[in-house]
Structure 1
Amino acid sequence: MMLIGAAVVVVALYLLRDVSAVIYRAIVPHTSSLPGVSLIADGGLLVLVALFGVLAVQMWRTRSPYLGDLLMGGFGVVVAYALSEVVKVFVGENRPCRAELTLPDCPAVSDWSFPSNHSAIAFGIATAIVLASTRVLSPVQRGLVIGLAALVGLARVLQGAHYPHDVLAGAVLGSAVTTAVVVMLVPWARRRARARRRPAPRTEQPGAEDAAEAVEQRPGW
């Protein structure tokens, strides 16, 4: 149901592309040349990846039971990215930096716009971290992680690489797919882990009890 709801939202956002284009034309001419906008988009994504790695190492060192949740969330990010690429090819929306404005740093023609990969990855990683770190990070820290993902998406609009609806669709896709993967796979992974920790039943060789009784009945024992 979560994935169906996310699909409905993504389709609704695409249908609002005309409104999104108006917002784009009103904002981007004033922001695309701002210094550091591209750095915020790419650097913020790298920071999220680094936070995911640091948290994974910390959970591994402390033998946290939530390490599996985090790793399953990482797998969900990969699934979300792959799905966003499929949607990109299926929709084939031209980049706004080519259709609305002419910007020098516009991606290649075959690199479609809807949805935003940066947003899908950023919000996927943020979702994975938040779901797995309820006992590791404070609510403020988890809020900062989500805020960083939102900053990455906003920067992609400000630099002119995406329409606003591209970023929102990527955010919905990344969060929903990552959450769905965690919800579906974490219970399975925990059952497998418990099965591996469960000691094997003790088996005795045939006649072992008779042999033990014979030894006890020997003289001198």
Structure 2
Amino acid sequence: MRKIIAAAFTTLDGVMQAPGGPEEDPSGGFEYGGWLPNFWDDELSAALDRNFAEPFDLLLGRRTYDIFAAHWPYIQVDPEASDFDAINADIANTFNRITKYVATHRPESLDWQNSQALGTDVVATLRELRQGDGPDLMTQGSSELLDILFENDLVDELRLFIFPLVLGKGKRVFGNGSAPRTLKLASSSLSPNGILITRYERAGDVQIGSFAMETPTLAELERRSNLG
């Protein structure tokens, strides 16, 4: 069985839209594209290296796929070239080589090598992929695809890179349709620039408890009756 790993850069208030640059995704009038680069540090770089160290395939929404397909295939991977950058080249080589599974209505336009459409029934295809053999399946960006994954309780592991800023609006990691689920913190670290690097695993259903008095007061009973 393959795990589905949801990985995302996010602000403290859960915004994940356009971390890499102003032109990445300005949809909805989003004005803060490029909020991530000024926080970059060596610990974040090392964490991403660890993130990509084990075998994986990518799960992408169409918008993120188009962003990646217009960038990573064009990164210089020749170490003799003057514009060679080892970190970017390693990621480019990995992303070019692995399979990219894409949620899209335009499968005929997936031109990046090793790209496959998830088909018309995305949830059924994801369940089939998850039950099969192969490397784990990891998301990058793809907020609309994340909504589908969370709504259908398909996420086995969550890797959040939480940045110390609040944006107030933008596409968020969790939507209102997310299936209730308890998680356990499997690992965490803090980078010098205040990025909280976390990994969560599934921990079961939500358990309900109460701090209320065993016998509610008259004031409490009145409060409850006025809840509407």
TM-score range, shorter-chain basis? under 0.3
Question: Which is richer in strand?
Answer: 2
Name which one, 1 or 2, has greater alpha-carbon Rg: 1
Question: Which is richer in helix?
Answer: 1
